[in-house]
Amino acid sequence: MKNEKYTGLYTYNLVSPKYDGSGKVKRYARAEGDNLIQIPNAVPAIIDKTMFGEIQTRMAARRHKAGTFNAKENYLLSGKIFCGECGAPYTGNKRKASGNHPLYISYRCSKRNGKNKFCKNTEVRKECVESIVLSKISSVIFNDALIPKLYERINAYAAERESSTHSQKLRIEAQLKELNRQIDNLVSVIAKTGSQAVLDRLNSHEKEKALLDNELGRINRELRKKHISRNTMKILFGRAKSLFAAGTFDSEKQLIDLFVEKVDVYRGKIVIKLNILPDGDPPKAHKDKNPCEPFVFKYEVDLRRES
């Protein structure tokens, strides 16, 4: 219903050729101005011009509404939210409900639909789960009474880590001392015999020594790190409060990246893990335990009560 011929208007030369420098037709484009020839009442009209105008207005409104569906959504929890049933990432999804219902925008398990996808876990409404996570973050960063407790836990962990790291340093220094002694002996043997086999052993020892030197350098840097002060923690919490107060997508995304370790979705509930570290950067794990455990706040939320 876009053709004006339905109103009796005949248009001639609607599309005209565009030429390049050599005189060849480069493309065709809609004609404008004097190149466009229009003759009113040249053909029988099917509808009058008033009705034609109303139809064009309605069609334009529908195009605008369709654009709402195609608009890009920003998902705060991208990369942080996972399926508690199968472990796959949850990804942003939106679909149009029937009738005049609004768009349903959600997070859905990436293994839920499609070829070779099997998970039957439920999707969660985007607005609902993001609101819950931000609420839990606010319950931590606006709790000033938590700072002294965190200060004690963080520095107790730092002291424990320092003790363990110091033991590692002593062990590596002993290994390097013995390795240097063996290298000196091998150099003396090579000087007397020129043995290729001994030279190969020397090269192997030199490589091992380089690795130990690098590890010792890392440990020394770790030991030079200072304990976290209460003032540093207050600065971190103050920054988080400012981000929360801003209320923009970028500020809320920074909050998520700083504090949210992971969100697991199960049937009817979500489990949120907030990682409260002053620099937002978890230390490397030891073999026997998770070093971040003292700073992880775990929340289980019943979605049926929140929805």
DSSP 188-200: HHHHHH--HHHHH
| Residue 148 pLDDT > 60 | yes
Q: Each residue of 143-181: b (16+ CB within 10 Å) or e? A: eeebeeebbeebeebeeebeeeeeeebeebeeebeebee
DSSP assignment string, 61-85: HHHHHHHHHHSPPP-TTTTTEEETT
Angle CA(9)–CA(14)–CA(16) in degrees, nearest 5? 160
146-224 fold: Helix Hairpins (1.10.287)
The per-residue pLDDT for 14 is 58
Mean pLDDT rounded to a whole number for the chain: 75
Is residue 306 very low, low, confident or very high in pLDDT (cuts 50, 70, 90)? Answer: low
| Average pLDDT value for residue range 63-76 | 59
How are beta strands 260-266 and 10-12 bridged, if at all?
unpaired
Q: Each residue of 254-286: b (16+ CB within 10 Å) or e? A: bbbebbbbbbbbeeebbebbbbbbbeeeeeeee
Is residue 27 very low, low, confident or very high in pLDDT (cuts 50, 70, 90)? Answer: low
Q: Domain boundaries in the chain?
A: 4-70, 146-224
Q: Is 264 helix (H, G, I), strand (E, B) or coil?
A: strand
Select the more confidently predicted residue: 115 or 275: 275
Is residue 283 very low, low, confident or very high in pLDDT (cuts 50, 70, 90)? Answer: very low
The pTM score is: 0.51
CA–CA gap between residue 246 and residue 181 (Å, rounded): 62
